Amino acid sequence: MITCVVEYVIDPSKIDAFERFGRRWMELVDLHGGTHHGYFLPAEGASDKALALFSFPSLAAYEEYRGLFGTDPGFIEADRIRDESGCVLRHERTFMRPMLPVRPEQ
């Protein structure tokens, strides 16, 4: 499994647009073979930082999903929300592998 962590710098005055953008991407990730773990929005402290975490079974599965960027109408629509609103000032992607807790057998 590979998890993509996206760190955003957002325009705090456009949080509603960012939430619309995020809701659409959660749907798209889940629709195309990933598991979206949600967006984490400012609550206290810096008001211009947000995170998104989502996983795919493998890097190859993620690359297949990325291949839809710029061609799939849903992806284009989601990017349009971001681009037209200006809610995202910049973002950075990092790939991590999760280390999950071991649960005792019940």
pLDDT in tens, 57-92: 999 999 999 998 889 899 899 999 999 999 999 999
Q: How confident is the model at residue 40 (pLDDT cuts 50, 70, 90)?
A: very high
Helical H runs in 1-106? 15-31, 59-66, 73-85
Give the domain ranges of the chain.
2-96
What does pTM read for this prediction? 0.85
Written as six digits, the tokens of 54 are 């989502």
67: burial class by Cβ within 10 Å (0-12, 13-18, 19+)? exposed
Q: At what angle do helices 15-31 and 73-85 cross, to 10 degrees?
A: 160
Instruction: Work out the pLDDT band at 50, boundaries 50, 70, 90.
Output: very high
Give the per-residue pLDDT at 34.
Answer: 96
For residue 51, which of 93, 84, 85, 86 has the smallest C-alpha distance?
93
For 2-96, give the CATH class. Answer: alpha beta
